[in-house]
Amino acid sequence: MATKTDEKVGKYIQDVKEKVGEEPNVDLLRKVTEALGPSIFSSDAEIVSSSSESELETVKKNFLIKKLGLKDDEKLDVGINAVMEKYGKSNRNKYRAVVYYLLTKYFKKESVYN
């Protein structure tokens, strides 16, 4: 029987396939989703607003620096921009789990989730 988390993961898999145009690493996507905890069930917290500077700053500080252990330099902004571009600038609703998944792959930090 599918859990609510399974439903979310399924939705994110579709998003990666349709909007990013790639076959996702389902195991990694599930781990990233589970690590986000209950926030994925809050419609506001589930979405990253790519047009909000403060939102992108939060992604950088709380995810890239604290979670992935990257050091704060311009490479982080380059990575965030590359991921937003890949996910589609015109795509208003970017799921946090997908954004974090793409950032994890971009910075080759899959080991954080192993």
Question: Which domains, ranges and CATH numbers included, belong to the chain?
Answer: 4-113 (1.10.238.120)
The token pair that represents 25 in the structure block:
């690493």
pLDDT digits (tens, 9 = 90+) for 83-108: 999 999 888 779 999 999 999 999 99
Using an 8 Å Cβ cutoff, are 105 and 28 in contact? yes
pLDDT digits (tens, 9 = 90+) for 42-89: 999 999 998 899 999 999 999 999 999 999 999 999 999 999 999 998
Is the torsion defined by CA of 111, 7, 13, 102 positive or negative?
A: negative
pLDDT at 67: 98
Residue type present at position 57: E
Which of the 8 DSSP states describes residue 113? G
d(CA 81, CA 32): 20
Is the torsion defined by CA of 65, 38, 43, 27 positive or negative?
A: positive
Closest CA to 95 of 104, 106, 84, 107: 84
Using an 8 Å Cβ cutoff, are 15 and 29 in contact? no
